[in-house]
Structure 1
Amino acid sequence: MTTTIRYSPAVEDRTASLPLRLMLAPAGTAPSLLDGAWWPRSHDLTAELPALTAALDPLWGRITHVTVNPTFWPVIPRKVPVNGHVVGVGWFNAEQDPHKLLLLSYGVGRWDLLVIPPETTPAAAARLMAEAADPLGALTASALMDEAEQRRIAEETELSLVSVWDSEGGHGASLPTSRSPAQAVVSQAPDTPEGS
């Protein structure tokens, strides 16, 4: 399920007019390692969490607490006001995956979201969101991010190789006549004197 919600906060913030970038696993599917993905617009939890929790409250019950790993969050507020109530914010270093956000709803349950870095390209973010929301997904948040990074490096390498090929005349170069590789090797072998 993809959720795009316009958020109207009581206090003006810079993310208020932008749609929430969130994708959740389909309702009623078997639990997997992740319940979806969230792609915030900044590393500012105070600005980002109100829209997220306001969108999830009607879907999952009132979100009462959120935990993060501080690796990618420079400032972690202790509390964030959301639609007339307060959401507590906590953090764990080693115990929590740095690419995951835990959301707790009193008496209802816990949900785990992949947090996609704000600087991620739209194409990579869309791919990550779909993978995190897949109910058959078996990768952790960090494993998904590692896989995305390997894919990015492979794509950059391929583009670099194509660029070198083109710059050396490979793209427009005429191809040799159709000879088999064996014929090409034989035709390039030096002549040997008879009787050797």
Structure 2
Amino acid sequence: MVHKLVVDVMPGSARSKPDPIPAPRTPRFLLRGQGAVPSAIDGVWYPWNTDILTELRTLIAAVSLRIGSVTRIAFAWDTVGVTRVRIDEGDGIEIRGPYPGQPSDLVYLDSASGCALALMVIPPYTDPERGNVIMQAIVDPLKGDAYRVQ
């Protein structure tokens, strides 16, 4: 389990109102190591909250380091309560529903270079300890190096 130390540098009386738009958080995901045993799942994404679309931008930026520029995302959006999905048209990313036969808990990210990732999505309301256990089980760091961004 990962523990984080949080230091409050502003006393309660000196705080201003919270920002109306929260700052983007580092995406919480694991990718299987490049030398890992082959699998149909390349990693796992555990969003911080139910605002999947806000978190999608940070996930795209992070996975682009591994597979290059993301051009298409396929997911069963209604499984996480998202009924309308849109990313700025200038990004050149096609957002679509699932491919035929695609499991509803997997998101597929395709890149311009032909690389692709299949990430299992852990529902954001999952207990953090349980979410971490699931992440580790999917990536199985004993069989290959894990690439962790958190």
Return closer, same or farther for 1:13/1:48 CA change in 2, 3 Å cut-off.
farther
1:65 is aligned to 2:80: no
Alignment of 1:153-192 (within 5 A): none
Return closer, same or farther for 1:20/1:65 CA change in 2, 3 Å cut-off.
same
In structure 2, the residue matched to 1:74 is 82
Cα distance between partner residues in 2 of 1:30 and 1:63 = 24
In structure 1, the residue matched to 2:62 is 55
The Cα of 1:96 is off from its aligned counterpart by 2.0
Return closer, same or farther for 1:57/1:99 CA change in 2, 3 Å cut-off.
same
Alignment root-mean-square deviation, CA: 2.5
CA displacement, residues 42-77 of structure 1 (integer Å, 9 cap, x when unaligned) = 333321210000011121111111111122232341
Letter matched to residue 52 of structure 1: L
Cα distance between partner residues in 2 of 1:67 and 1:90 = 5
The Cα of 1:109 is off from its aligned counterpart by 1.9
* Matched residues, number: 122
- Of 125, 129, 133, 2:135 maps to 129
Cα distance between partner residues in 1 of 2:94 and 2:80 = 18
Q: Is the 8 A contact 1:39 1:115 kept in 2?
A: yes
Alignment of 1:5-154 (within 5 A): 13-14=21-22, 16=24, 18-69=25-76, 70-78=78-86, 80-81=87-88, 85-92=91-98, 95-134=101-140
**Secondary structure of the corresponding residue to residue 117 of structure 1:** coil
Greater helix share, structure number: 1
Cα distance between partner residues in 2 of 1:44 and 1:94 = 25
The Cα of 1:92 is off from its aligned counterpart by 2.6
Structure 1 gaps, min length 5: 1-11, 137-196
Larger radius of gyration: 1
Q: Which of structure 1's runs of 4+ aligned residues deviate more than 4 A?
A: none
Cα distance between partner residues in 2 of 1:102 and 1:75 = 18
Letter matched to residue 60 of structure 2: T
Q: Percent identity?
A: 27
CA displacement, residues 3-58 of structure 1 (integer Å, 9 cap, x when unaligned) = xxxxxxxxx95351x22101110123343021110011233332121000001112
CA displacement, residues 76-111 of structure 1 (integer Å, 9 cap, x when unaligned) = 414x249x7332211138632111111111232221
The structure showing larger relative contact order (alpha-carbon pairs under 8 Å, at least 6 residues apart) is 2
Cα distance between partner residues in 2 of 1:108 and 1:93 = 16
Q: Is the 8 A contact 2:69 2:111 kept in 1?
A: yes
Return closer, same or farther for 1:134/1:92 CA change in 2, 3 Å cut-off.
same
